[in-house]
Each structure stands twice: as structure tokens, then as C-alpha cells.
Chain A
Amino acid sequence: MTDYSSLESELVTAIKAAADEASLEAIRVAALGKAGSISGLLKTLGALTPEERKEQGPLINGLRDRVTEALATRRTTLKDAALEARLAAERVDVTLPVQPSDNARGRIHPISQVIEELTTIFGDMGFAVAEGPDIENDFYNFTALNFPLGHPAREMHDTFFFNPDENGERKLLRTHTSPVQIRTMMTQKPPIRVIIPGRTYRCDSDQTHTPMFHQVEGLVIDKGSHMGHLKWILAEFCKAFFEVDDVKMRFRPSFFPFTEPSVEVDIQCSRKGGEIRFGEGEDWLEILGCGMVHPNVIRHCGLDPDEYQGFAWGMGIDRIAMLKYGMPDLRPFFEADVRWLSHYGFRPLDLPTLTGGLSV
């Protein structure tokens, strides 16, 4: 009987001692390669008698299997160790800061955001968005809107004028978004449902007024819309916009040249520590003006006020933005202070929707 145990222990010792994959491979070649010691033993089997082969075969094959296994085990160990070493070497300091994402840096101005919110709410009620020029003439800004020449209401507008042209016509910066009502009625056949957001201008500047500000106007013209509908729309709007379940509103008779009857609307709120909450409290906050479109305005647009009727409302976009989001002052809206914009602005993907909510 040939004893292979010394060969085996020799090999196993060498395998266990192999420091890296290369030396392990050298051992494998020396044992199992073409000219390897175990390969040599295996070759001898062919020359043996069947009886001898029966005896030697399992011994040599067993030796080969065990050595192969030892090699594999050692290889795995070495590979793992090598990987560990590599991984250890590859360590980085993950506490190093990354650049803030675009979404973290970029901002949408509150006015843009609120206009999108308004569009979303009124779009659902079938209102399109109408727009018009900032530079207007007297007809669209005043006359067609039933401001009589010299009437005090006209003076209350603090209008910015341009120098008169060669024909003596003096253009002006629109003092409200209402001229777009006229432009819409003169170019579209009723039924009309539009909201009109935009920049407006008045020659006025103090703590609470800026020479440029934003208004949104609503206009409905058809054959049957009345103040009951107006009231419902405004109540639904306030609930949707301020994202509260209920608002209490107060409608007061008032005066605007372009509506009759004219109404001012207050909403009830509480003010605690600089925070305004709607749907509760004892304070009234004036929020918008509205009314039935004045028959003279309807006539000026070439329609018959006995056939067509409707209503309009208007409010300050900057103002409702302040009420909803809590900016204390108006002036910073237009100062482009990046600190203010980053704080009060909205992230690029804050998209107001009715299904997902207007704000997060």
C-alpha cells in the first residue's frame, strides 16, 4: 500500500500557507497541473491491474478531491481577504458634504406660485386665463369701465401716464387688470369665463403700497349668472385657496364704477401673534371687491345689458399671497433679495394641483 498521507499533508500545509492567489496557483499547478504530483499519480492508474486500480483509484482520487477542495477553500479565503483589503483601502469620508441639489437651490417666486394656484382652482370651474397689455389707453382703463371724465374715482387711481404722442393721445400704465375685461368682451362671444392675473401700476409708494403690484380679476358674462353664483364662487375659491374647510364671509355694499350693484368682501379670521387663520376668530379682513358688471360696461363692449349679464371680481395677488403664506411686508416681493426669495419661494417641483393639493 502506498501511503499518500505525507504528500497530502505537505500539500495542505503549503496551501494553507499560501499568501496570495499567485502562490496558491503555483501549488495547484505543482499538484494538479499537467506535470503535477497528483496528476502523475493519476496517470499511474492506467497501468495498474483492475484490482490494484480498485484499491489505488479511490485513494488517489480522494487525495485529488481533498487537495482541490483545500485549494478552493484557500482561494476563497484569499479572495475575501484581498477584497477586504481593497475595500479597506477604498474607504472615503462619507461625511463630506455634497452640493445641494437644483431642487434645493432653485425657487419659484410666490407670485408665480399663487398665480398657478389661482389658475388651478378657477381652471377647474371652466375659467380660461385672459391677459392684456400693461401699457393701456384711457378708453380701456377708464372710459369703457364707466369712469366718467373728472370723476373722483378716476383720481383715486394714481395713474402713471406716458408723454402724449403727436396726436395728443396719452397712454398710461394700467391701474388695474379690468381693461382686460373690456378687451375680452370685445373679442369673445359670451358665454365668457376668464380670470385675468397680471401686473398693475399706481403712482404710490409707502409701507404697504408699491408702484407695481399684481391683481387677479374674474369675469363671467352669460345670460343668467347672478350674485348668488358670485357668492358661491368666491366662497369656494377662498376655501380652496386658503386650504380650509370653511370660511365665513361678509358682503358689504360698496362702489366701483364698473359694477352695479358693487360689493366688498371681508373674510373672518383670527390674528394671534402675527399669524392669521381663516375659518375662525372675530376679525374681518377685507379681501376683494366685486359686483355685477355695470350695464354701461356691457354696452361699451357692444352687448345688450338686458340680454347679457354677469359679474366680476378683483383682488391683489400679492396681498392674498401674504395672507396665505405670511410675508409681513409687500416691498420685499420686488427687491430680489435672494435670502427672501429662498425663504418665501417655492421649490421647482412644488406643483399646485387639485388632486395632490395646492401646497405641501
Chain B
Amino acid sequence: MKFTLSWLKEHLDTSASLDAIVDGLTKVGLEVEGVEDPAKELAPYITAYVISAEQHPNADRLRVCMVDVGDGKPVQVVCGAPNARTGMKSVFSPPGTYIPGKNITISVGMVRGVESAGMLCSGFELGLSEDHDGIIDLPADAPVGVRYVDYAKIDDPIIDIAVTPNRSDALGVYGVARDLAAAGLGSLKRHDLKPVKGEGACPVSVQLNFATDDKHLAPAFALRLVRGVKNGPSPEWMQSRLKAIGLRPINTLVDITNYITFDRGRPLHVFDAKKVAGNLVVRHAKDGDEILALDGKTYRPDPTTVVICDDNGVESIAGIMGGEHSGCDEHTTDVLIESALWDAFNIAQSGRKLGINTDARYRFERGVDPAFCVPGLDLATHMVMEMCGGIPSEAIVAGEVPAPEKIIPFPWSEVKRLTGVSMLVPEMKAILTELGFWVSGNDNEVKVAVPSWRPDVEQKADIVEEIIRIAGLDQVEMTPFPREVATVIKPVLTLIQKRTRLAKRALAARGLVEAVTWSFIGKSEAEAFGGGKPQLSLANPIASDLSDMRPSLLPGLLKAVGRNVARGLSDVAVFEVGQVFKGDKPEDQSIVATSVRRGLAGPDGLGRHWQGDSSVDAFDAKADAFALLEALGIPVAGLQVVQGGPSWFHPGRSGTLQFGPKMVVGAFGEVHPRILEALDVKGPVVACEINLDLLPPPKARPTRMKPKLVLPEFQPVSRDFAFIVDKSVPVSDMIKATQAAERALITDIAVFDVYEGTGVPEGKVSIALAVTLQPVEKTLTDTEIDAVSTRIVAEVTKKTGAVLRG
């Protein structure tokens, strides 16, 4: 909210400087967002007399002026204004002055060969008006050589404060002054507002047409007629204050309502009584109701909206905006002044539905002081009579002004309990009293009555806030916060938290770059990855491609890869560890780690390299998956790799990772070409996905002891086997069969060669295994080793149909 310093001083008797007031406002919670001090910005401008204005020798449109700036040393200025003439008075800016309207700082310069040492200014150049047709033309009696801000009295600083939604009382300058007075920055001026002595009854009646349940929508409506007014421009002082805060003066009657809105936080409305037909009825809007409002737009309020009607129909949208038809203009002679109370929630809702933001709505939806309803009408009446003349009628009040009596039992110890600050009771009591609270009782616990303008104060903590914000938060002393128990701190992270951070480090340690992508993706993308359920679709997405909660991290990462490729980075290795959603319940959300590699971004390095490089393949993704699981300490011995993955992977070049058919934890492989095409990403792209929430927890162990290390006494021996086998046989079956042939001695089985081609029949593949035997009790004899080899060959042949290569 904006106001000027002089306006504030209308209500605050203070000798405090502008800086002290600005600091004080922020300190009590009315944060100053900006101060415009025209006096500071326009200080260098001085009034000047144009001694002579002659034609510029080299330019038709320019004049060379000799300017008296009050020091007896005339200055030569080149001026392009059409109204520059000998003998006029204007405003001069010396060299070095900043010109706000032009955003330049002027200096001594040559203009078409003639020196110019300063400038004569237009109102536009000073940022004071839109007038840039000519330089400011001061009256002949203006003094020469004085500061223009002093002469024109534009030395009133404008203060802009941010008012938090709870502080409706500070949406009027008077309320702001009250806070400052409480904070010791002056004293609040009491304005004795005399009731208006009306002559005769108000000829227009008001009916509040609401069912008992809806009476709260319009609790009270005060109205008065003032006859015989003369409506014209409002006084200069009022216009300049309204202009200073960004309002456009209209006419006196309207300006008075706007002024009181900002002065007291009390919105009002004025009807031209001659345009009002019959009596006023306040009711819910009906189908077919229509109103041309003061903003020139036509609105059709729905039945939840409250409207004010006469025999002509809707004349005003309650608490939000009046109608054009019954508005006041310079021809208005009889005026109906309305001061009403509305329901905050209803006004907020109606305003939102209609899309109208007004200063009235802003105040009503935050809460307007009910006790000021009738006094507000009286204040407006006095101002109308003073500025426009006229004879007031008596006021009528339809409904009843609520007088809530909020009394809060308050132990003074609450302040210390919540803030840690020890304050003296008289000090605390003084603050509350200054703010308009009534404190009764002298015990440790008192009764605090809340003033009508503070709907936000409801309980003890609210009173503590009032006391501490006025006393100043700097009273709160830093107090060390001890540990709950004086011990070395215990670990705090949960298993999934530890696994999440470890997963990130593990993947980054494989040369992958961590990305954070949106939690929402496009609908078609969500559907392609098993998502797109209606309960996971946003009703109000910010963009159509950010509409559905992601079922997988892959769509976001794949699109990110695509964007990087488009920027010329063809070899990309990225990952994300983040949430995915399979439903809208908390338990449907889980953490997944996903890596994506594209082009020549394998685990060994990026791009082409003299030591060798190759396009990423499914095994790079598999290696990422295993590296991740191993980093997380997941025993991979029991992990099954099943051929084929989810539909978004290449069916022949992907695998599912599971600890059993019902314990699928992830997948890896080449991304399906159709998916890549849909997401506009060029392959090859491989990926792995591991759901961290599905991984088995570690076994609980009573101690941190590692199992005893037993080193074998005898050297291991190794034997190689090359089998020819059907390509359809998974190598994992051969390894399993090999292990089954000799459980005790075989400690390692390595696949050291896979070959198809010359020498291997069509449809077959040659698989070479290196089997390590670890003797336990004694060195193995050749006979024993041969026996094991024979068993291995027999078992592999039996289980897989493989034949030892001759």
C-alpha cells in the first residue's frame, strides 16, 4: 500500500525523520518495499528566467537561450522546445543532473556548433507528467533560482509498504500511524468525528434480502442522501495525494470514497441519487442479471455473488465495484453514500469468479472494521458537505453492525515462554493499549479485549506477536540450542535416504551427470511409460507437456538427451534419482534411479578416442545397473536377469532385474526405437532403471564384525571349456549348469569368449568358460581335475544341449 509522508502525518504527530519512519515500518512488520523521494531526485532542478531566446544559427528548430538561474551569471542553453521564448520562467537542470524521464545525465556539450551548459525541462523529463510538448511554463511571479521541488511543493515522499494478509487494519493510513505510534515514533492524532445531523429521513430504503443462513453475507448496510451537492474536481491536496499513490482523480464525490478507502481502510460507494429508481435491494444475483461496471465492462454475476439493485436492476456488485449507470459525475446534485459490511469469503470468491480486482475487494476480503461502518459514512458525509456542499438526510442502517467482543485471557508469562524475552508488565501493557487493546486485571493473567479492527487476533500467541513486533524482534536474544542428549550424535538418515544419496554418488562416479527434471510430463509420454492415469493428471497444468505425474524418469531424461543433442552434444551420459508416481496415494510414490547413455558415452569415456571407442550398448546399461546395486550393498548373487524388459525397451536387447518373478526391481537395455522416434531423440540410447524402494533391506547384524577371513592353503587351478550351443540358450543357464556340476570346488566361472562365424554352425554360438577350482584340503591330482572337467561338460550338455568344441 502506498501513502505519502504528509498523509501519514495527518494521523501521526511525529518529529521522526523519513529514514526513522521507514525503519520503524519494517521493524513492526509493515515492510517498506520502496520510498520515492521526489525531493531527492529532483533536488538539482532550479527555477530560471529566460533572459533571451534567439534562433540557433545552424538549426531551424532550436533556440539559443540565455538563462538566469539566480546567481547573476547567465547560462547559455540550446533548447528545442517550441514554447521557449524570451521572458518566460521555467525549470533548469545544470550539467551533471540526472533526467529521470530520459534516463540520461546531462553534461556541457555542443549542439549544432553552439555550447549548451544545461537544459530547460519539460514535465515529462522530470517524471512528473506526460507533457513533453514543451518546457515547463512557470507563472510570471515564480521566484528565480530556488529549488523547483520547494517551489512546486512536490517534496512529499511516497512510501510503499507490503501489508501481510492478516493486517487489514494497516490497509488505511490511520492504521499504519497507529502501529508507528505504538512503536514510539510519535503519537496518534485523535480525530473527533462528530455524528452528522441529518435533516429528514433518507428517502431511499434498503432491504437485505437473505435467508437466515445467508444473513452473514450482508450484515449491515448504512446509507444516506446528500442533496444539492456541487460535484467538480476535488481539492488540489486530495488530488495530489491520490495521484501520488497511483490513483486517477475523477471528481470530488468519487475521490472522497477513494480517499477514505486508503485513509481509513473503509471502502465506500456513491450513487447518483437521481439515477437510482426506487429503493435499494441487496440480494443474491439472479440468472439474467447483468451490470455495466465502472471499469466499462459488462459482468453477469452468478447467484453466489451479492448485488445491490434498484427498480432498474443491478446497480452495483457488492463490495467489489459499482455500476456505470448510477455512478456520480459532474452533473450529480444528489448523492447516496453507501457504507456497508460484507462477508470476506464471499467477496473473495465473487471477485475471483468475476476477475475483478479493486481496492474495495482487496479490503473487504481481508476484513474491514465493522465498528467504523457508520462512522465511515459520517466521515464521508462531512467531507462531501465541506467540499461539495449539500444537505444530508439522516442515515439508515439496514441489518445490524456486528459488535464482536473478543476477550482473551492472557498470562503475561506467554511472552517469555514463546519468545524467550523477559519484559516488564507495564511495558507490555503499554504496547497493547497503544494498539487499541483493552487490558483489564492486575494479576499475572489479565483479560485482553481485542479491538474491532483486528479480526486476526484470536488467541494468546497472537497477542505475543503484537507485543514482540512492537517491542522489536531485536529484543529476542540468541540462545544456544543444546542437543537433546549430550552425546555424540546418532545417525539420522533412513535406509531410503542413505540409498538415495549413495545412488547419486555411485552413478556420478561412473561418469554420469545428474539431472533434475520436472515431476510432470506430457500425457502421451506418461502413457507410453505405463502412466497417464486420470488421477495423476493435473486439472490446471502450466503447459500441455507438463500435465501428468511421471511414471518413470525416462521420458524426462530422454527429452533432456534430445535437447543436448540438438545443442551439438552428441555423446551424453545423464542420470536422475527421483520420485515416480503410480497412483495418487503416498505409498504409490517411490524413488527410482535411472541412467541414460547416448552415442559414444560409455562407461570408459566420452566421444571418439584413439584408444578405442564404441557406441553404447545394452551391456553398458547393465553395467550401470550392477554398479549401482553393488554400491548400495545389494547382494547381486541372487539377482535374476531375465531376457526382455518393459515395452519402452528394445525387446531383444533389454533385460529385467528381479529377485524372483514378484520382486522386479528394475530393467536395462536399449531404448525402443519407436519411443526414441516419438520423443525425437536419435539413437543409440541405452538406459537402466532401478527402483530403490523395492530393493531388499540389509540383514540386521548384531555387531559390525566382518566374517573371519579364511585363506586357502592351496593354489587354485583353472580350466577352459569352449562349447558350441544354440543361440537361444542363455549363457546364464550354462553357468548355472557348470556350477551345479561341482559346488564345492568351483569358486569362479568367467565367460572369456563369445564367438560366432567361421567354424561355428549357423544358429549356434561358441561360448568359452574359464572355470576356477579352489582345492580345500589337498592339492588336486590331474585325475581329480579331469573328473571335474568331465562332470562339467556332461552337466552343461545335459542342461543346455551344448557340445564341447573339438
Contact = CB atoms under 8 A, between A and B. Distances in A.
- A and B: bona fide binding partners: yes
Interface of A: 96-103, 105-109, 111-112, 116, 119, 123-129, 131-135, 149-153, 155-156, 160-163, 165, 170-171, 173, 191, 193, 199, 201, 203-205, 211-212, 220, 225-229, 231-233, 235, 251-255, 260-264, 292, 294-295, 305, 309, 333-339, 341-342, 345, 347-349, 351
A287 to B, nearest CB: 14
Contact of B514 (A99, A107, A155, A156): A107
Interface string B333-352: 00000000000110011001
B604 interface: yes
B564 interface: yes
B17 to A, nearest CB: 18
5 contacts: A105-B511, A105-B606, A161-B540, A255-B165, A305-B461
A233 B512 CA distance: 36
Contact of B581 (A97, A125, A135, A204): A135
Contacts of A163: 534-535, 537, 539
A165 B535 contact: yes
A336 B560 contact: yes
Given A105-B512, A228-B419, 7 more contacts: A109-B514, A152-B365, A152-B366, A226-B420, A261-B461, A336-B564, A338-B564
Contacts of A108: 504-505, 508, 514
B584 A226 contact: no
A152 B513 contact: no
B481 to A, nearest CB: 4
Contact of B476 (A132, A191, A205, A227): A227
A295 B504 CA distance: 39
Given A106-B511, A135-B584, A255-B165, A261 B418 contact: yes
A133 B166 contact: no
A354 to B, nearest CB: 10
B71 interface: no
A150 B28 CA distance: 26
Nearest to B515: A336
A214 to B, nearest CB: 8
Interface string B513-525: 1111111100000
B448 interface: no
A252 B556 CA distance: 41
Given A119-B493, A171-B584, A227 B419 contact: yes
A228 B478 contact: yes
A254 B29 contact: yes
B741 interface: no
Given A109-B516, A128-B492, A129-B494, A203 B508 contact: no
Contact of A134 (B31, B420, B462, B579): B579
Interface in B85-133: none
Contacts of A254: 29, 31, 164
B411 to A, nearest CB: 10
A161 B539 contact: yes
A155 B542 contact: no
Interface of B, helix, strand, loop or mixed by DSSP: mixed
A36 B389 CA distance: 148
B202 interface: no
Contacts of A309: 417-418
Nearest to A195: B492
Nearest to B607: A99
B331 interface: no
B513 A341 contact: yes
A113 B121 CA distance: 56
B480 interface: yes
Given A134-B589, A229-B481, A253 B28 contact: yes
Nearest to B564: A338
Contacts of B606: 99-100, 105
B516 A226 contact: no
B55 interface: no
B785 interface: no
A317 to B, nearest CB: 11
B515 A261 contact: no
B492 A123 contact: yes
A228 B418 contact: no
Nearest to A286: B31
Interface stretch (B311-319, B398-406, B463-471): B463-471
B428 interface: no
B419 A252 contact: no
A350 B460 CA distance: 48
A131 to B, nearest CB: 8
Contacts of A212: 518-520
Interface string B139-177: 000000000000000000000000011110000000000
A173 to B, nearest CB: 7
Interface in B547-602: 549, 556-557, 560, 563-564, 567, 569, 572-574, 577-579, 581, 584-586, 588-589
B552 to A, nearest CB: 15
B523 to A, nearest CB: 13
Contact of B420 (A123, A129, A227): A227
A334 B518 contact: yes
Contacts of B420: 226-229
A126 B574 contact: no
A96 B605 contact: no
A160 B515 contact: no
Given A133-B586, A309-B418, A338 B513 contact: yes
B560 A226 contact: no
B368 interface: no
Task: Tell which of A132, A231, A233, A309 has the most Cβ of chain B within 10 Å.
Answer: A231
Interface string B17-45: 00000000011110100000000000000
Contact of B509 (A106, A334, A345): A106
B514 A345 contact: yes
Contacts of B543: 205
B483 A126 contact: yes
A255 B480 CA distance: 25
Contacts of B31: 252, 254, 264
A42 to B, nearest CB: 45
Contacts of A233: 481
Given A106-B509, A106-B513, A108-B504, A295 B461 contact: yes
Contacts of A255: 29, 164-167
Contacts of B589: 133-135
Contacts of A131: 497
B90 to A, nearest CB: 38
A345 B513 contact: yes
Nearest to B611: A99
Contact of A260 (B465, B473, B477): B465
Contact of A100 (B348, B418, B605): B605
A231 B472 CA distance: 14
A125 B352 CA distance: 45
A282 to B, nearest CB: 14
A260 B164 CA distance: 13
A193 B484 contact: yes
B70 to A, nearest CB: 36
A239 to B, nearest CB: 12
Task: Tell which of A112, A333, A337 has the most Cβ of chain B within 10 Å.
Answer: A112
B459 interface: yes
A120 B623 CA distance: 31
A102 B581 CA distance: 31
Given A116-B501, A226-B419, A253-B465, A341 B514 contact: yes
A149 to B, nearest CB: 7
**A-B pairs with lowest CB-CB distance, top 4:** A253-B29, A99-B605, A255-B164, A228-B420
B478 A160 contact: no
A20 B417 CA distance: 97
Given A96-B610, A106-B507, A336-B574, A153 B165 contact: yes
Given A106-B512, A153-B165, A251-B476, A211 B605 contact: no
A162 B509 contact: no
Contacts of A345: 513-514
A107 B505 contact: no
